[in-house]
Amino acid sequence: MNEQGYVKKGFIDAKLVQVILSAARVVLGALFLYAGAIKIMDPAAFALAVYNYHILPAGLVNMTAITLPWVEFIAGACLVLGLWIPGGALIVSCLLMVFTVALGFNLSRGLDIACGCFSTSPVAEKITWWYLLRDSSLLAATLLVMFADHGRYSLERVLRVRLGRNP
Amino acid sequence: MQRLRRGLLCAFVIVAAAIVLGMVFNLVRPAGIPFVGDWSPKALTELHAGDLEVIHLDDAFEVFSKGQALFIDAREPGAYTGGHIPNSVNITPEQAAERLEEVRSMLKTGRILIAYCYDVDCPLSAELVKKLRELGLGTIKVMPEGWMGWMDKGYPYE
């Protein structure tokens, strides 16, 4: 094990486990890369979405809409490429926690249902609970990546080998 | 632990880079938005209703009192059933096309048609009126204060 803690012995270091973790990392990264990109493309629409959550003070809505998609985008890129994996995974897990809490909070206070602004049909409601489940599953996967993906299949490792450092 | 500490440091750098990039990109791009947005009722009304004809709460009530108003409730049926402006008809934006004739006959009564939904944050009434306009019906007003505004004033409901 080197000072980065990237090479360890045991079950987690088994090749198959590392391949699965890397695949999960790339999928998670791609999701956030995509989520960030579509929000970057239409900042006004995303600002309205943030406003509609009624969680942030109105003065902070636009700043959030301007910066949050870039956090998602860069963290997603880190995970896809395998650069700064712990950092990218930490950000993605924090974001997922915030999203899950915001979603759950608005579900519990019945904002959607009272407002009717985002469809209150039974089908849509199911989808909303499904979103909560989905976010929690993604969070679990991200935490696994954060603690157990040793970056064996990452750009960072490739660079280390190229630079002649201890992989 | 070491991994977490390293993660924290990288995360901090990524967030800082994202904030700087986001702000710079927002400044230079044509579709950039103000750093502090205007989310006042007036701005929200403009955002949702755009160039549609708007009638505010008190004016709408005056027309209603003279018996010259017909209201369209654009909220979901569940919200409508829970309480609505007297004699209003429930038409959601999705139903615009299928209930076109109904709206047309309402217009023929010569009364003023006013669409409303939940409150000033709610885009449904503006969406409905925009759809109806695309289908050829052009003289329906939007009351941005909506059901909440109506209730806050203590106006009659059923």
Mean pLDDT of B32-47: 94
Q: What is the pLDDT of residue A121?
A: 32
CA gap B1, A41 in Å, rounded: 37
CA distance B120 to chain A (A): 10
The yes-or-no verdict on residue A3 having pLDDT over 60 is no
Q: What is the pLDDT of residue A29?
A: 96
CA gap B147, A108 in Å, rounded: 22
The yes-or-no verdict on residue B79 having pLDDT over 80 is yes
Verify whether the Cβ–Cβ distance A71 to B18 is below 8 Å. yes
Tens of pLDDT, residue by residue over B11-21, are 999 999 999 99
The yes-or-no verdict on residue B126 having pLDDT over 50 is yes
Mean pLDDT of A14-20: 88
What interhelical angle do A15-41 and A122-148 show, nearest 10? 130
Query: Would you give the DSSP letter of residue B111?
Result: P
The confidence band for A112, taking pLDDT boundaries of 50, 70 and 90, is low
Residue A111 vs residue A140, higher pLDDT: A140
The confidence band for A111, taking pLDDT boundaries of 50, 70 and 90, is low
Mean pLDDT of A139-156: 88
CA distance A56 to chain B (A): 12
CA dihedral B4, B10, B14, B20 (to 10 degrees): 120
- Chain B's closest residue to A83, CA to CA, is B10
B69 has which bridge partners? B112
Q: What letter represents residue B94's amino acid?
A: E
Task: Beginning with the edge strand found earlier in the chain, give each strand of the sheet holding B89-90 in spatial order.
Answer: B89-90, B69-73, B112-116, B140-142
For domain B41-152, give the CATH number. Answer: 3.40.250.10
Report the residue from B13, B36, B122 with minimal CB separation from A62: B36
Report the residue from B15, B21, B34 with minimal CB separation from A62: B34
The yes-or-no verdict on residue A20 having pLDDT over 50 is yes
Q: B123: closest CA among B37, B32, B50?
A: B50
Mean pLDDT of A12-27: 89
Instruction: Return the SS3 of A138.
Output: helix
Q: Which residues of A71-99 are buried (b: 16+ CB within 10 A; e: fewer)?
A: bbbbbbbbbbbbbbbbbbbbbbbbbbeeb
* Mean pLDDT score of chain B: 93
Substitution target from A2, A71, A121, A145 for chain B, most B beta carbons within 10 A? A71
CA distances from A167 to A40, A144, A156, B4 (A): 36, 21, 9, 20
CA dihedral B18, B19, B21, B26 (to 10 degrees): 130
Q: What is the pLDDT of residue A115?
A: 29
Residue A111 vs residue A113, higher pLDDT: A111
| Helix residue ranges per DSSP H, chain B | 2-28, 41-49, 57-65, 77-81, 100-108, 124-134, 146-152
Q: What is the pLDDT of residue A73?
A: 96
Query: Would you give the DSSP letter of residue B54?
Result: B
The confidence band for B143, taking pLDDT boundaries of 50, 70 and 90, is very high
pTM > 0.95: no
